[in-house]
Amino acid sequence: MLLRKSETRCLGTFQILMHILQLSTTLRCCDSLKFALASRQAERRNDRKEQKLQYENMLKEDSDISLLRLIECFLESAPQLALQLTIVLRNNGDWKTLQIVSIISSFLGIVWSIAGYHRAIRFAQSDKSNITWCGTSIQFIWHLSVTLSRVLSLSAAATIFPQWTMVGCLIHCSIMTLWVFYLERSPFCANTLIHSFLFSGVLGLVYLFTYIMPHDGKTAKKYSFYYSTCFIEVIICVTIYALYLEENMQKSHYYYSIIGISIIPYILGIGFMILYYSKFHPRRLNVG
């Protein structure tokens, strides 16, 4: 009994250390590999029940890894990307090749983390069909368009009023945190109210750029609320940029490009979202 308690303490200490060292994703990858090997061993023993159990554990671990990667992208990469774009816009669009490559790769990495997360959670749900690669491609374009619009519009507003843009972002995140905590509370990290509130706060920060489902359920009303709110914010940001930018810049093609790229991709993204849910969203279990 004492030996088990000692092993539990050592395991807990090790896990805390891994989180401090920012290696929690690596730890979960090791757990996923462990479940995969256990499933393979059960298959060799012809133990179908154990094989299925370990395989499902592996898929659940993979979905958690995808969620952690998604959160990491939107708490680290997305704000850095917005800051980088703000600096470029404040320098009147003085683009350098390395900056362009960095910005494009960041956008693609962020959006792919969303598409990968949606595929992973589908794999982990045995009662639901998987998303096809065609559906994943549509999702990718949807989230790429919306994220591009959100990041660029916020960056454009930040070039004019950086402090007020930050205040607006904090208000948005606070509203989203309360919305998730009181109305959309996730079963993830739900051991105590404090854990649940902290995780709701993390989602509130992610919702500055995109929406992810905290749990299963109908999406129509949630998407309508979220994307309508974000579109209003995009229009406000673009209006601020259009009205308060220096007059000598308002006559350039650069000025109209920023306005167009801030609005048009958002509308395009909503169109691809509707296309995905009407044609490519799996509704029935795959047979065979």
Candidates 179, 54, 73; CA nearest to 116 is 73
Kindly report the average pLDDT of the chain as a whole number: 82
- Tens of pLDDT, residue by residue over 216-266, are 667 788 899 999 999 999 999 999 999 888 776 766 777 888 899 999 999
Look at residue 22 in the predicted model and tell me its pLDDT: 63
How many other C-beta atoms lie within 10 A of the C-beta of residue 42?
A: 18
Q: Which residue has the tokens 């959006």?
A: 111
Q: How far is CA 272 from CA 178, 210, 280, in A?
A: 28, 15, 10
pLDDT of residue 20: 67
Cα–Cα distance, 140 to 134 (Å, whole number): 10
The residue ranking higher by pLDDT, 202 or 186, is: 202
Which among 111, 26, 71 is positioned nearest to 200, based on CA atoms? 71
Cβ-based neighbour number of residue 274 at 10 Å: 12
What Rg, from alpha-carbon coordinates, does the chain have? Answer: 22
Selection from 114, 119, 85 nearest residue 206 by Cα: 114
DSSP-assigned letter for residue 185: -
Q: Calculate what percentage of the chain has a pLDDT beyond 70.
A: 81
Only one residue has tokens 């489902």, namely: 213
pLDDT tens figures, 131-150: 788 888 899 999 999 999 99
Instruction: Output the pLDDT for position 47.
Output: 82
Q: Are 178 and 118 in contact (CB under 8 A)?
A: no
User: Which pairs from 216-224 meet CB under 8 Å and 24+ separation?
Assistant: 216/125, 219/277, 222/184, 223/273
Alpha-helical (H) ranges within 21-161 are 24-44, 48-72, 78-90, 97-124, 133-160
Tell me the one-letter amino acid at 138: I
**Which carries the bigger pLDDT value, residue 129 or residue 150?**
150
Amino acid at 266: Y
Q: What is the pLDDT of residue 268?
A: 96
> Quick check: 267 pLDDT over 90?
yes
State mean pLDDT over 140-169.
93
